[in-house]
């Protein structure tokens, strides 16, 4: 029964993508954004989840404001999805977009020295554009990804990622080893660190404990790679993007490095609150865990 449901969901998504792919690029991006924000997200409960997370972090925020932000987040996510299935047009758009920041020179220096670059980013803007922008510079970018729960969707999800910029390695022992090898050999790799990784320890994110994988920091330390935060955001016209190469993270203890990465991402989200993926489950039962931690410290 679950497989039938997965097939139906995947078929529906493929149908939508196929239909809008016949439309010119700019209209295609806007149409798919609208469909996601005003049709798919409400039906899937994403708007409700976004409001819950926003009010968890900003309890003083009026519900109407939180709902408006969650809606714009869903629209951005829809635009991101169809852009990533339109790789040639997206790559062309990025050739004319602003790409800068204090870490850009360090990026080029590391590669010139044969040193790997471990990019760490979050689900903000179109988070795949950083890889496309770097690929435009002539550097393939490997990705480490968590398989989608829908096996039919996952099949073309992986193919799409690989077609964008380079190899995509599935999380797991084999995939992680290949990913690390790519970095150690002087390659560029990217990983989104702001997913809830329940098997790992907590890092403070917006003042609440958030389970966070230490992989980006550990890989950088293990391989000697440059650990570079890069963030993207969507411009006001809804089509163009900016890619910001932040200052590299200095080597230290993995937890401290991940905490600094979280602070950097938090600063970006405060600038662009309607472009981060508030509709995903970042904190889990953060309030309960925070209360337990506080009580244990008092004891």
pLDDT of residue 295: 40
Write down the pTM of the prediction: 0.87
Q: 226, 116 in Cβ contact below 8 A? A: yes
Q: On the CB side of 27, how many CA atoms lie within 13 Å of its CA?
A: 6
pLDDT of residue 18: 76
> What DSSP assignment string belongs to 185-247?
TT-EEEEE--S--TTS-EEEETTEEEE---HHHHHHHHHT-EEEEEEEEE-TTSS-EEEEEPP
Which residues, given as ranges, of the chain have pLDDT below 50? 1, 288-299
For 145, the enclosing helix (H) or strand (E) is: strand 141-145
CA nearest neighbour of 146 among 213, 234, 77: 213
The domain that contains 148 carries what CATH number? 3.40.1130
Q: 186, 176 in Cβ contact below 8 A? A: no
State how far the Cα of 151 lies from the Cα of 168, in Å rounded to an integer.
16
State how far the Cα of 278 lies from the Cα of 266, in Å rounded to an integer.
12
State how far the Cα of 10 lies from the Cα of 152, in Å rounded to an integer.
6
CA nearest neighbour of 244 among 110, 104, 118, 94: 104
Q: Which two tokens stand for residue 103?
A: 């870490």
219: containing domain = 2-298
Pairing of strands 188-192, 117-121: parallel
Pairing of strands 241-245, 226-234: antiparallel
Q: Which two tokens stand for residue 220?
A: 């950088």
What is each CA distance from 28 to 33, 61, 70, in whole angstroms? 8, 33, 21
Total domains present in the chain = 1
pLDDT of residue 166: 75
CA nearest neighbour of 205 among 125, 137, 139, 124: 124
pLDDT of residue 19: 75
pLDDT of residue 149: 65
């Amino acid at each position: 029964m679950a497989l039938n449901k997965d097939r139906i969901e995947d078929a529906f998504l493929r149908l939508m993508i196929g239909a809008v792919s016949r439309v010119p690029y700019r209209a295609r991006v806007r149409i798919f954004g609208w469909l996601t924000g005003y049709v798919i997200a409400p039906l899937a409960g994403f708007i409700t989840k976004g409001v819950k997370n926003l009010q968890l972090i900003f309890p003083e925020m009026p519900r109407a404001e939180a709902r408006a932000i969650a809606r714009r987040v869903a629209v951005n996510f829809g635009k991101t999805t169809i852009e990533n299935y339109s790789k040639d047009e997206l790559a062309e758009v990025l050739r004319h977009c602003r790409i800068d920041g204090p870490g850009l020179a360090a990026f080029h220096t590391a590669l010139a020295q044969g040193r790997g670059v471990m990019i760490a980013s979050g689900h903000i803007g179109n988070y795949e554009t950083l890889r496309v922008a770097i690929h435009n510079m002539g550097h393939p970018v490997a990705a480490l990804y968590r398989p989608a729960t829908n096996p039919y969707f996952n099949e073309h999800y992986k193919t799409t990622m690989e077609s964008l910029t380079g190899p995509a390695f599935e999380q797991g022992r084999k995939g992680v080893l290949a990913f690390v090898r790519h970095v150690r050999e002087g390659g560029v790799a990217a990983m989104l660190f702001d997913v809830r990784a329940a098997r790992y320890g907590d890092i403070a994110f917006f003042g609440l404990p958030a389970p966070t994988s230490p992989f980006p920091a550990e890989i950088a330390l293990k391989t000697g790679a440059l650990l570079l935060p890069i963030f993207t955001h969507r411009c006001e016209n809804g089509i163009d993007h900016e890619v910001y190469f932040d200052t590299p993270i200095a080597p230290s203890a993995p937890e401290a490095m991940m905490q600094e990465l979280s602070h950097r991402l938090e600063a970006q989200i405060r600038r662009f609150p309607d472009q981060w993926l508030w509709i995903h489950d970042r904190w889990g039962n953060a309030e309960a865990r925070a209360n337990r931690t506080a009580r244990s410290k008092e004891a």
